[in-house]
Structure 1
Amino acid sequence: MNFYKERVIKMLLHLKGICKSYLGETILSNISMKIERGEKVGLVGVNGAGKSTLLKIIAGDTPSDQGEISIGKAMKIGYLRQHSGLQMDNTIWCEMLNVFAELLEVEKQLRQLEKTMSDPSLEGNAVKFDDIMNRYATKSQWFMEQGGYEIEGKIRRMLSGMGFQNRSMNTQIHKLSGGQKTRLALAKILLQQPDLLMLDEPTNHLDFTTLTWLEGYLRSYPGAILVVSHDRYFLDTLVNVIYEIERTEARRYTGNYSKYVESKVKNRAIHAKKYDLQQQQIGKMEDYIRRNITMATSSKSAKNKRKQLERVKRLEQPLKNLKLLQLSFPLEKTSHKDVLQVRDISISFRENYEQKSLMQHINFQLQRGDKVALIGPNGIGKSTLLKTLLKDYQPDSGVIEWGHGASIGYYDQEQATLHPDNTVLNEVWSRFPHIEEASIRSVLGNFLFTSEDVFKKIASLSGGEKARVALAKLMLQKANVLMMDEPTNHLDLYSKEVLEQALLNYEGTLFFISHDRYFLNKLANKMLELQATGVIVFNGNYDDYVSAKSQNDKQSLLLNN
């Protein structure tokens, strides 16, 4: 096989010159991309860069304005849309069985052929009997090769991995939460095993256990993957290629997310140096031409120099850095050394007129300067505990004692404290009326709200924009204790990095909930694992926590054996 044929067979997807505009605004311009078999590709860029639009164009959901899309022959693309193709009146089990409809139809035909073969009337018709036997053998062989005898096992392993092991398979899909529906849609598309798997933020709504399982599954996935994600830990673990969409164009980087960040900085520095050097050379040539073009003795030389200058392939001017979020968390005053004491608190909730225990025997403390992460499985009550510490909820028993001088700032992942009818300017200014308008506008400019943006209604903002408004209010509060519930949700990769640096520089006490493992590794010096019967304290960041858990599991295994 020659090299060209090998390349054609390996190539799954080739985009050339893809362009897309909305209402006169260019979203994507001249996008080129190649994905080969087995590649795991991450697609990154700021919010609104056009990542999801590009996935929709590849999937055929949205037409491009121009450009070409070449897809490998007989290649199957799987695209995870929100609640992708789920039939809400189906049960979980029936929905998963639908993936194997063709196999189940063949199995049905096999059962019918078995029934026909046992018919006494065939005893005297050898030709017809042999024909049925041959059909049965052919179908049976195909059924086995396609994994027909493994359907139930595949479904159960997939549902267990995606966190449905304790859920009845007869549950109707419409009874599931939004997060559960998203996980089920992901499970379904993974069972389909397309040649190219396209995923848009697949780690949303996943706890650490499910995330770890998904990463392991996708690393060994036989097909290619194109994934849009703001989860840097996930991108570091999974992908071997990054495409960044920046200012409507795409650039390819080899390696995972960390390698891409390193390469981008290095490439920009090299390009800037080459550009400056070329500009100096061009300047010298132009100066020589200008001084000598009219001189009788050197006019010919100047004209030759001008021709030489015209042939120079000019480097593009280096891109200026995108305007990024500017963030810091100053303190009005410092708190006492002992910030918080939580002693033996219990919390319950009411369901169907019955009081049910959510958590008991919760004990921990915060010291000034701590950066403590609260972790635990979805539904365990992390946000409820946070709101109980803020006195929004009353515990059934126990003591919550805040230290002297503690001033508390709260970041709500739902942004429920933002008033939808307010403008951005009024939302912030009404909270801090003693600050003059010009100063409020200056702060909002640091949070990327400039000119007319400050008059947008809160209700019209995206999730990322609402997050920036909430962070602006939190910054102006100058609290010495920050309580933050999923602060990186809705933020793009670059805004997350700015937030991380601001919190690393923060001199107060930080108590936060997060599923962002990269964020946990950067910030946490203590991890509190919340369980129904108490809190387990681990010193260190997320990697230290995983290592300690692994060691504990090994010790438990040895003791049990």
Structure 2
Amino acid sequence: MILLQVQQVTRRFGATVLFENVSLDVPEHGRVALVGRNGAGKSTLLKMIAGETTPDVGQITTKRGLTIGYQAQNAGLASSKTVWNEMLDVFATLRAMEQRIHELEQQMSDPNIIADQEQFTQVTKTYDQLQQDFSDQNGYGYQAEIRGVLHGFEFGEEYYDKPINELSGGQRTQLALAKLLLERPDLLILDEPTNHLDVETLTWLEGYLQGYSGAILVVSHDRYFLDHVVNDVYDMAHGGLVHYPGNYSHYIEAKAERLRREWKEYDKQQAEIGKLEDFVNKNIVRASTTKRAQARRKQLEKMDKMDKPEGDEKVARFTFRPHRQSGNVVLDVVNGAVGYDQQILCAPVNLDIKKHQAVAIVGPNGIGKSTLLKTILGRIPAIQGQIIFGTGVDTGYYDQDQATLHDKKSVLHELWDDHPTTPEGDIRSILGSFLFTGSDVDKSVHSLSGGERARLLLTKLALRHDNFLMLDEPTNHLDIDSREVLENALNEFDGTILFVSHDRYFINQVATQVVELAPAGTTRYLGDYDYYVEKKAEQDAYAAKEAAEAEAANPTSDAPKQTQVDYQQQKEQQKAKRKLSRQVDALETKLGDLETQKSTIETAMSSPENFNDAEKLADLQAQLTAVTTDLDATEEEWTEKSLSLEDFDG
């Protein structure tokens, strides 16, 4: 069943068309993503769907009685109520029922009502029905539900009595989303819900949304999040909307394949047009061939000419090139501590970074990830330990707060003042490669969007030509296209990288190792983010098993406390097992699909109509090779994860 339909919708701003004739469906229980670069109109379309604005052309229809919950980007709760009371408001109906149940209980103990058999029967009947309704609507569990969601967003009991208007903007935004999740509308519309969430909260939110009973329509630049939550992607580009079934990774592959196919068909038609035009030009004036040339010209006139395929819009082009090479040892941090004013957040901190490594720093919000970078740079005094840079290390720093930019300068002078001997034309050319063209270079830095400021910072960093890049949340404010450009630039960088990021897809693409910060210090994992998650799950499972064996061998008076610890560890182990089981199921489904694709291609190759078509056979062979390669890789991954799943039961 379709819950909502966008039908041939257009939005104009004056004479400018932002998008036109776009259509989108949200099915029951659907998980739909809307992607596209900044400024394409994604948030504008969401506001229309949420009913905040109306289309200039077209219509949006919904299932009768559909409830919609909309979370705008960075929209926080404005309330003077406490956190707990604000969440309780969601369950006002249940609380009224609860109050009525207590009133009926008092009536049922009233001697006068007990003496009146008819009245007592009526009160009892009403009480039984109300209690049943209360139970069916989770009346006995709604407070636990509130605690669970607040805990997911890292609001412990110490926050329950705090007025919301005294919290930070980021916290109020998270509470707005928490309240929306508790309301459980039929359709959740979320605009960048992952902004400023740490990895632990992101992981919790993904799990919550995977189990959400309603439908979800989401705009997000977090590709890892999209891969784990959605199963339909709509790409907004060139003023239109194209639908791709599947998650984000499938969308990337399908979009690339569509463009390849369109270019092939376009080039084939262009070659045919060229031959026809060449024949007409050579033969139209010859008496012996003029009729044939006229026929070719009519053929050209009647031809339904294809438009040139539209690929991605212009993207930034840049590289990081060091002026010189560093020594093999780039940075050592020995028994360091992260914190402010002698208050230690994380210790001991030990880093051993070698040339050409790309090290990601992860950990919960507030643990001191950004503080660690600033301490290494000497911007914050080290509380303890040693920080030792290697020979020939030139350090470049990307500040997530963008504090190194000068608001009163123009874009041009922000760069030119750092490189006064470089000709203006060269500065403009460099800015152009970062998408600052024409009058953009005369804009004041103060007037730039977050994404534009991020690109300007990257421009300045690229021009320094350092061999050791320290990056603090470099993907914040960047759209997906810009993130991919940055990933490519960093992967081609002939230097060393230390970065903080909550963008798990970005970490997977760039990191050669992950260092986790925790109150007890640093732990290094020699792989990307997925490897880190896998190893953490194994460690947690092993720790739970060790604790259970120790408790069985040596029970103590602390048994109740240890039981609680074991329970938590078992929960973590079960969570890891469920995740691995879902991955195995998904891989089994993929294997089945790939086997079907392979069989279909092989059948097509043996078909008489294709057997003598060399071009068609070559195309089918290429498809077969690609599918076979994917099949082998998927089967290998399935085998590895299946064995890991067996280890949980072993």
Same fold (TM over 0.5): yes
| TM-score normalised to structure 1 length | 0.92
- SS of aligned partner of 2:461: helix
What is the CA–CA distance in structure 2 between the aligned matches of 1:280 and 1:540, rounded to whole Å?
Answer: 48
Residue 194 and residue 29 in structure 1: after superposition, are their counterparts in 2 closer, same or farther (change >3 A)?
Answer: same
What is the CA–CA distance in structure 1 between the aligned matches of 2:481 and 2:251, rounded to whole Å?
Answer: 13
Residues 228-263 of structure 1, C-alpha deviation per residue, up to 9 Å, x if partnerless? 111111111111110010012110001111111111
Counterpart of 2:36? 45
What is the CA–CA distance in structure 2 between the aligned matches of 1:360 and 1:487, rounded to whole Å?
Answer: 25
Q: Specify the code of the residue in structure 2 equivalent to 1:405.
A: G
Instruction: State the Cα distance separating 1:19 from its structure 2 match.
Output: 1.2
> Residue 73 of structure 2 contacts residue 193 of structure 2 at CA under 8 Å; is this kept in 1?
no
Q: Specify the code of the residue in structure 1 equivalent to 2:123.
A: I
Residue 347 and residue 242 in structure 1: after superposition, are their counterparts in 2 closer, same or farther (change >3 A)?
Answer: closer
Question: Does residue 204 of the first structure (1) align with residue 195 of the second (2)?
Answer: yes
What is the CA–CA distance in structure 2 between the aligned matches of 1:141 and 1:294, rounded to whole Å?
Answer: 92
Residues 491-544 of structure 1, C-alpha deviation per residue, up to 9 Å, x if partnerless? 111111110011011111101000111111111112111123321111111111
Instruction: State the Cα distance separating 1:546 from its structure 2 match.
Output: 1.1
Instruction: State the Cα distance separating 1:363 from its structure 2 match.
Output: 1.9
Instruction: State the Cα distance separating 1:560 from its structure 2 match.
Output: 0.4
Residue 302 and residue 532 in structure 1: after superposition, are their counterparts in 2 closer, same or farther (change >3 A)?
Answer: same
Q: Specify the code of the residue in structure 2 equivalent to 1:271.
A: E
My pick for the range that moved more, 391-400 or 510-519, is 391-400
Counterpart of 1:501? 488
Q: 1:158 aligns with which of 132, 149, 153?
A: 149
Counterpart of 1:369? 356
Q: Specify the code of the residue in structure 1 equivalent to 2:514.
A: M
Counterpart of 2:570? none
My pick for the range that moved more, 18-27 or 400-409, is 18-27
Q: 1:433 aligns with which of 405, 409, 420?
A: 420
Counterpart of 1:7? none
Instruction: State the Cα distance separating 1:347 from its structure 2 match.
Output: 4.2
What is the CA–CA distance in structure 2 between the aligned matches of 1:64 and 1:511, rounded to whole Å?
Answer: 46
What is the CA–CA distance in structure 1 between the aligned matches of 2:392 and 2:292, rounded to whole Å?
Answer: 78
Counterpart of 1:55? 46
What is the CA–CA distance in structure 2 between the aligned matches of 1:229 and 1:388, rounded to whole Å?
Answer: 32
Residue 348 and residue 32 in structure 1: after superposition, are their counterparts in 2 closer, same or farther (change >3 A)?
Answer: closer
My pick for the range that moved more, 506-515 or 56-65, is 56-65
Q: Specify the code of the residue in structure 2 equivalent to 1:56.
A: K
Q: Specify the code of the residue in structure 2 equivalent to 1:116.
A: Q
Q: Specify the code of the residue in structure 2 equivalent to 1:232.
A: R
> Residue 233 of structure 2 contacts residue 246 of structure 2 at CA under 8 Å; is this kept in 1?
yes
Residue 455 and residue 216 in structure 1: after superposition, are their counterparts in 2 closer, same or farther (change >3 A)?
Answer: same
Counterpart of 1:470? 457
Q: Specify the code of the residue in structure 1 equivalent to 2:391.
A: H
> Residue 233 of structure 2 contacts residue 245 of structure 2 at CA under 8 Å; is this kept in 1?
yes
Instruction: State the Cα distance separating 1:69 from its structure 2 match.
Output: 0.3
> Residue 82 of structure 1 contacts residue 185 of structure 1 at CA under 8 Å; is this kept in 2?
no
What is the CA–CA distance in structure 2 between the aligned matches of 1:357 and 1:331, rounded to whole Å?
Answer: 35
What is the CA–CA distance in structure 2 between the aligned matches of 1:346 and 1:236, rounded to whole Å?
Answer: 36
Counterpart of 1:4? none
Instruction: State the Cα distance separating 1:304 from its structure 2 match.
Output: 7.7
Counterpart of 1:218? 209
Write the mapping of 1:272-311 to structure 2, written as runs, cut at 5 A: 272-282=263-273
Instruction: State the Cα distance separating 1:311 from its structure 2 match.
Output: 5.7
- SS of aligned partner of 2:385: strand
- SS of aligned partner of 2:203: helix
Question: Does residue 263 of the first structure (1) align with residue 250 of the second (2)?
Answer: no
Residue 149 and residue 439 in structure 1: after superposition, are their counterparts in 2 closer, same or farther (change >3 A)?
Answer: same
Counterpart of 2:510? 523
What is the CA–CA distance in structure 2 between the aligned matches of 1:304 and 1:101, rounded to whole Å?
Answer: 78
My pick for the range that moved more, 53-62 or 479-488, is 53-62
What is the CA–CA distance in structure 2 between the aligned matches of 1:72 and 1:36, rounded to whole Å?
Answer: 10
What is the CA–CA distance in structure 2 between the aligned matches of 1:299 and 1:341, rounded to whole Å?
Answer: 81
Instruction: State the Cα distance separating 1:71 from its structure 2 match.
Output: 0.7
Q: Specify the code of the residue in structure 1 equivalent to 2:250.
A: K
Question: Does residue 316 of the first structure (1) align with residue 307 of the second (2)?
Answer: yes
What is the CA–CA distance in structure 1 between the aligned matches of 2:415 and 2:345, rounded to whole Å?
Answer: 35
Residues 330-378 of structure 1, C-alpha deviation per residue, up to 9 Å, x if partnerless? 011111221112122234424xxxx532333222222111111111110
- SS of aligned partner of 1:397: coil
Write the mapping of 1:165-204 to structure 2, written as runs, cut at 5 A: 165=156, 167-204=158-195
What is the CA–CA distance in structure 2 between the aligned matches of 1:58 and 1:221, rounded to whole Å?
Answer: 20
Q: Specify the code of the residue in structure 2 equivalent to 1:519.
A: F
Instruction: State the Cα distance separating 1:70 from its structure 2 match.
Output: 0.4
Percent identity, please: 46
Counterpart of 1:387? 374
> Residue 359 of structure 1 contacts residue 533 of structure 1 at CA under 8 Å; is this kept in 2?
yes
> Residue 190 of structure 2 contacts residue 217 of structure 2 at CA under 8 Å; is this kept in 1?
yes
> Residue 83 of structure 1 contacts residue 185 of structure 1 at CA under 8 Å; is this kept in 2?
no
Give the number of the structure whose residues are more often strand, by fraction: 1
Unaligned ranges ≥5, structure 1: 1-9
Write the mapping of 1:5-44 to structure 2, written as runs, cut at 5 A: 10-44=1-35
> Residue 86 of structure 1 contacts residue 95 of structure 1 at CA under 8 Å; is this kept in 2?
no
Structure with more contact order per residue of length (Cα contacts < 8 Å, sep ≥ 6): 1
> Residue 33 of structure 2 contacts residue 232 of structure 2 at CA under 8 Å; is this kept in 1?
yes
Counterpart of 2:537? 550
What is the CA–CA distance in structure 2 between the aligned matches of 1:31 and 1:554, rounded to whole Å?
Answer: 48
> Residue 408 of structure 1 contacts residue 480 of structure 1 at CA under 8 Å; is this kept in 2?
yes
What is the CA–CA distance in structure 2 between the aligned matches of 1:368 and 1:83, rounded to whole Å?
Answer: 39
Q: Specify the code of the residue in structure 1 equivalent to 2:374.
A: K
Number of residue pairs matched by the alignment:
548
Counterpart of 2:408? 421
Write the mapping of 1:71-110 to structure 2, written as runs, cut at 5 A: 71-82=62-73, 86-110=77-101
Question: Does residue 141 of the first structure (1) align with residue 132 of the second (2)?
Answer: yes
Q: Specify the code of the residue in structure 2 equivalent to 1:264.
A: K
Instruction: State the Cα distance separating 1:275 from its structure 2 match.
Output: 2.1
My pick for the range that moved more, 150-159 or 499-508, is 150-159
What is the CA–CA distance in structure 2 between the aligned matches of 1:304 and 1:120, rounded to whole Å?
Answer: 105
Residues 60-105 of structure 1, C-alpha deviation per residue, up to 9 Å, x if partnerless? 1122212100011111111112565734211121111111111112
> Residue 233 of structure 2 contacts residue 251 of structure 2 at CA under 8 Å; is this kept in 1?
yes
Instruction: State the Cα distance separating 1:25 from its structure 2 match.
Output: 2.6
What is the CA–CA distance in structure 2 between the aligned matches of 1:512 and 1:136, rounded to whole Å?
Answer: 60
- SS of aligned partner of 1:116: helix
My pick for the range that moved more, 307-316 or 165-174, is 307-316
Unaligned ranges ≥5, structure 2: 549-650
What is the CA–CA distance in structure 2 between the aligned matches of 1:200 and 1:305, rounded to whole Å?
Answer: 54
Question: Does residue 461 of the first structure (1) align with residue 452 of the second (2)?
Answer: no
- SS of aligned partner of 1:267: helix
Q: Specify the code of the residue in structure 2 equivalent to 1:459.
A: H
Q: Specify the code of the residue in structure 2 equivalent to 1:48.
A: G
> Residue 87 of structure 1 contacts residue 95 of structure 1 at CA under 8 Å; is this kept in 2?
no
Q: Specify the code of the residue in structure 1 equivalent to 2:5.
A: H
> Residue 31 of structure 2 contacts residue 230 of structure 2 at CA under 8 Å; is this kept in 1?
yes
